[in-house]
Amino acid sequence: MVHKDQNLILASASPRRLELLKQVGISPNLVIPSNIDETPLKRELPHELAKRLCRLKAEKVASTNKGSFILASDTIVACGNRMLGKAENSSEAEKFLKLLSGRRHNVYTSIYLITPSGDTSIKCVKTVVKFKSLERSDIEFYLRNDEWQGKAGGYAIQGLGARFIKAINGSYSNVVGLPLFETVNMLKGRGYPL
């Protein structure tokens, strides 16, 4: 029997985050998407947006789920200070891929934890990703496969998008959507039984 203060709620709609947690032996008791407004504020930097959004997600879920661990996360892909959200259609995905082609970009994922007693922790992890120079045929192939749908920056490193990744500097799981090393250490450090 799990005590209420050992419940873990994942405040995310992302199936990838749930898979990543399960990969390291963590199975949330509940998954509750928070559906918040993700519009960036004026002059908000990518890492600031990632931190603000994951905090808002966690707080929204915590407001109706007291006494549990609440884990939220948000990933922002940025080329310079230009933020690339989830591509809404194939033409936007194509623009993202053309922008990322042959360049480095940053992936910021913030994690926010609320403990059963209401204490909070936040961490933002940055990974630098280097794309190869994409040919027209690369982009057409990728768009045909629809993998870009629902992905920040319009690509998935854990799928067909891996064929475009020349190098990464930092956490691979961060680019997928949840920096596992940091998440496990945050949970452990705040008393979640692992």
Give residue limits of the domains in the chain.
Answer: 4-189
**Average pLDDT estimate for 68-82:** 95
Candidates 3.40.1390.30, 3.40.50.720, 3.90.950.10, 3.30.1310.10; correct CATH number of 4-189? Answer: 3.90.950.10
Residue 80 has a pLDDT of 87
Strand residue runs (E) in 98-194: 104-114, 120-131, 165-169
pLDDT in tens, 21-55: 999 999 999 999 988 999 999 999 999 999 999 99
Q: Tell me whether strands 69-79 and 165-169 are parallel, antiparallel or unpaired.
A: unpaired
Q: What is the rounded CA–CA span in Å between residue 87 and residue 3? A: 40
pLDDT at 144 over 80: yes
Can you tell me the mean pLDDT for 63-69? 95
pLDDT (0 to 100) of residue 1: 40
What amino acid positions are annotated as catalytic residues? 74
Using a pLDDT cut of 90, give the percent of the chain over it: 91
User: Taking the complete model, does pTM exceed 0.95, yes or no?
Assistant: no
**Please, what sign has the CA dihedral across residues 146, 147, 149, 153?**
negative
